[in-house]
Structure 1
């Protein structure tokens, strides 16, 4: 970014032009933040008054000498100093309501549009300090007072407008970009509704998409991916909005860079995980699932799995999101020969990245693969694709049924152990309601156990004699029966919520009831 002629010579930053720039004055001002060691209301009023005076002087000087930068240079430096002094306020968040009542917020925010980019950057750093989590911790009321005032005075619009004029070829501008994103994150932390407000009122989503599309990695690309994930999390409005902006395709392009290579650093790993978080959030609305399939997202995820790179587990997760309650994605998965890759993982042939070793990582992948296969069964109800899916459990002497029962026993034992532990806690007078107990069991593995039982229900309803015999024999070997599977299915049936609507709840309950009826009808001897 070129230095405007109107920029104060004492505030210009070195940009590699070989010119001699005097930083002595700025360096002398660095200690100004500690000028007020103990801040109280009286000291705050003094700071604000001094700031307003310097602001007024600068405005007047610029109006009087618009084409003579040397005539307003001193006022620019003095204004910079006053903004730096205000940063001490972050150590006294209890005074934020007073900052608001003194009507200083509009004046501060107005400087985000200052002709001198350095002054605007000063304000960005100030806002990041004031809204930092450490400053706001245990100060909910003052934090809300400040954030409400900032939002009411268009902080979101002004921050994003300033963001768009920063150049990331300059280190100081890059730092300002980072602090701008940090401020947005801080605002959302205090006031979650900001996540939708900023997307409604500004072009931040567009800026973030442009940033993550860049091929070169830097810390701001990583942070942009994190902010995008935060904006999409728990916001169907933002998910749909980004989908309409070709967001699904852009995120897939960003992910595709890693289809045959691994991230080089832990920071780049975090970028990739953020991108997949974005993708999974985007895949919540039905229309975005359609965009994902059209953009050949299914094929890309299968390629990533086949390459067995760092993103392997994330690709499985994205596929599961895409195929949940969306048959076209399931059908595409079968059509592009994804079954072989999925069942290779199901059989335990899961690559573990050297930087992702550990029992929990292995389990997470297992659980996600089980969920993916359950989604396939739910999405493909008939036809040749269904036959191809079922045939996987017959080949190689029903080895996949053996594997399924192995997982069933493991998760069943884990849930039983957790149930016993919870019963003991009840005896120890630690009261928990039924919902809390059920949620604890889900976290301990009940959810995956339920999915395994659902897959068993699909297999049993196929009426394939070989598969039925294999399932019964394996249950008997463990001194179990179909009634145990039916009990798991019944508990699932009774706890299905209506988050996805009453029609989906009814459809799922009917499916589970069908499994239970089929299992019980062939089990009279028990």
Structure 2
């Protein structure tokens, strides 16, 4: 039998190991646990300086005494066994300071690390079709659960508030879709787009606001979508009556509340995104509730904002400008709601006062002028413009305002070429507008090019639309010939400047055309035309049209123009009129056909 001394002295052949119970050698039942201490005894020493251990040999036991002797440290093996080579070592103790080795294999550690990362959310979930289907199912479940609890516990909100928090979280989680446009079509097919839009009618406005914010993000121009993917979602939204539901939210949100004020902004953001496709202009503008709210909102002042124009008021004006930009139906609808009169009232404060630079108010005023300039192109809206003394207001701004001057001139230019051009032309002359317009023309070297181009457009419209033989037309022609034809001299100078600028552009375009084949040249035709217009092609044609009118109307003007433009001056005007005729579309509108007839009549006069 192995002695106690041998157990302590001899090292194990297999290296270090754990300290075992010394009684294990005498017991039939091996134990890995150390001996339990009793009666305050210590396994290290007794009072008489000897080591002792209790052993059992059946019915009786006695203390085995081990004599003290100095043991060489290298001969004694005690303490924990070293971990095997396939175990990962860890620095320092564990939580309770008991072990220096982790006792975990490398493979186990990799599994643990993966689980920990997954629990911490470090493992990125793959956003694909399976993810979308799972998300769609959870989304619909959250909607149904909330609806069920709301119906069941209508009078006890605490019973369904938790389900609304879950629903809100699910809505916010869908924002990941904005980075995966390839999933938009499936999102629509699964019915999620319709369900999402339907939540805009949720009783809890916080849910509706969350949906508005999400829809704004999904339809934003910065979302990772192609044009087709974007249109797929937006068309599904429109079919689900998104515009009506958004408009109803505008009516129930209270902007005195910060959260609701933010909600109004998100709703307007969605509408703006939808309108980025001009095909949706009429679909959105046809909603009376929305148009009425926008009109009311631009009238409502924001007391605590600079210039009494806050972000949402400015945004409402911007949405209106987009709706009226290129849609006759929307313009007429707006005018029928007394929109033109509202614009004139709002703009009247800028007769002598400029809005603060780089402020919401400045952008607000810009948008109002844009709205007015668009509306006055239509006959009904322009009639309202004349009735509301819009011509007089614009003339006052030309004389007294600074920032509003250019905008007012643009409004007059659009009104004088629109569906009510005759009445506007007559009113401008009757309101003593000729002095203002010609005064600006003579100071054209001191004003911006854009103002000059609007002045040219106004003069061309006056000569075209003022009735022949009327007092207003005679007064206008007299302005051209007074002071020894100084106005005509100015027009000829302006024509020369525009011609020089355009010749440079045409030379460059011709150089590019010579380096291309016919197919490539055709592809660049629109780009070249745009560059010619930027160089002043339209204004040059308008100037030549004005000079042609004067040649036709007054012999003295004819002789002056012939002298100022040289021997071939009238030939130049003739070629210009022919070029404009050749550019006319024979299948165009009634207005275009009237223009064609005017050009033919002028050509006959110039050829004489």
Q: Same fold (TM over 0.5)?
A: yes
Displacement, 1:498?
5.6
Partner Cα distance (1:441, 1:329) in 2: 30
Question: How do 1:251-400 residues align onto structure 2 when only pairs under 5 Å count?
Answer: 251-266=343-358, 267-324=360-417, 326-348=421-443, 362-380=448-466, 381-400=468-487
Distance (whole Å) between structure 2 residues aligned to residue 517 and residue 349 of structure 1 = 31
Paired residue secondary structure (1:393): helix
Pair 1:441-2:529 in alignment: no
- In structure 2, the residue matched to 1:14 is none
Partner residue in 2 for 1:172: 259
> Using the alignment, how far apart are the partners of 1:187 and 1:115 within structure 2?
24
What secondary structure is seen at the aligned counterpart in 1 of 2:462? helix
Tell me how far apart the structure 2 counterparts of residues 512 and 61 of structure 1 sit (CA, whole Å): 73
Report how far residue 126 of structure 1 moved: 1.0
Please state how far the C-alpha of 1:234 moved relative to its aligned partner: 2.0
Unaligned runs of at least 5 residues, structure 1: 1-31, 353-361, 522-526
Partners of 2:585 and 2:339 in 1: how far apart?
30
Summarize the Cα distance change of 1:304–1:166 in structure 2 as closer, same or farther, 3 Å threshold.
same
| Number of residue-to-residue matches in the alignment | 475
Deviation digits for residues 84-137 of structure 1 (CA, Å, limit 9, x no counterpart): 112222121211122122222232222211111111111111111111111154
Match of 2:163, SS?
A: helix
1:350 and 1:263, CA in 2 relative to 1: closer, same or farther beyond 3 A?
farther
Shift of 1:499: 7.7
- Alpha-carbon distance between aligned partners in 2 of 1:332 and 1:253, rounded to the nearest angstrom: 19
SS of 2:353's equivalent? coil
Structure of larger gyration radius: 2
Aligned residue among 458, 464, 468 for 2:558: 468
Question: What's the counterpart of residue 154 of structure 1?
Answer: 241
Q: How much does 1:396 deviate?
A: 2.7
Name the counterpart of 1:25. none
For 2:585 and 2:535, locate their aligned partners in 1 and report how far apart those are by CA, in whole Å.
19
Relative to structure 1, the CA distance from residue 121 to residue 470 in structure 2 (aligned partners, 3 Å threshold; closer, same or farther) is same
**1: CA distance, partners of 2:592 / 2:198:** 51
2:151 counterpart of 1:59: no
Q: Is the 8 A contact 1:35 1:85 kept in 2?
A: no
Contact 2:441 2:452 in 1 (8 A): yes
Kept after mapping to 2: 8 A contact 1:262/1:309: yes
2:160 maps to 1:72: yes
Is 2:407 aligned against 1:407?
no
Q: What secondary structure is seen at the aligned counterpart in 1 of 2:197?
A: helix
Match of 2:504 in 1: 417
Instruction: Give me the whole-angstrom Cα distance separating, in 2, the residues matched to 1:126 and 1:422.
Output: 47
CA distance in 2, matches of 1:492, 1:384: 30
Post-superposition shift, 1:516? 2.7
Residues 519 and 194 of structure 1, relative CA distance in 2, 3 Å threshold: closer
| Counterpart-to-counterpart distance in 2, 1:424 and 1:430 | 12
Deviations 1:423-473 (A, max 9, x none): 2222212543596566653442221111111111221122242x3333222
1:42 aligns with 2:134: no
In 2, the alpha carbon distance for the partners of 1:316 and 1:284 equals: 14
2:326 match: secondary structure: coil
Are the equivalent residues in 2 in contact too, given 1:460–1:518 (CA < 8 A)? yes
Q: Would the alpha carbon gap of residues 179 and 388 (structure 1) be closer, same or farther in structure 2, given more than 3 Å must change? A: same
Q: CA deviation at 1:171?
A: 2.1
Aligned to 2:549: 458
TM-score, scaled relative to structure 1: 0.84
DSSP-derived class of the 2:256 partner: coil
Distance 1:36 1:107 in 2: 27
Counterpart in the other structure of 2:289: 203
| Residue 116 (str. 1) matches residue 204 (str. 2) | yes
Does structure 1 residue 85 correspond to structure 2 residue 180?
no
Q: Could you say which residue in structure 2 is the equivalent of 1:101?
A: 189
Q: What runs of 5+ residues in structure 2 fail to find an aligned partner?
A: 1-119, 302-307
Aligned structure 1 segments of 4 or more residues deviating by more than 4 angstroms: 32-37, 349-352, 433-440
SS of match in other structure, 1:54 = helix
C-alpha distance in 1 between matches for 2:323 and 2:288 = 13
Q: What SS class does the counterpart of residue 237 from structure 1 fall into?
A: helix
Q: 1:387 offset after TM fit, Å?
A: 1.6
Q: Does 1:213 align with 2:288?
A: no
- Asked whether the equivalents of residues 441 and 455 of structure 2 are also in contact (C-alpha less than 8 Å), the reply is yes
Question: 2:321 aligned with 1:229, yes or no?
Answer: yes
| Counterparts of 1:369 and 1:500, CA distance in 2 | 27
Q: CA offsets per residue over residues 205-231 of structure 1, 9 Å max, x none?
A: 111111122243111122111211211
Give the structure 2 partner of residue 126 of structure 1.
214
Greater helix share, structure number: 1
Q: Equivalent residue for 2:279? A: 193
- In the alignment, the residues of structure 2 paired with residue 36 and residue 81 of structure 1 have an alpha-carbon distance, to the nearest angstrom, of 18
- Structure 1 pair 394–455 and aligned structure 2 pair: CA distance change class (3 A): same
Checking the alignment, whether the CA contact within 8 Å between 2:552 and 2:558 is kept in structure 1 is no
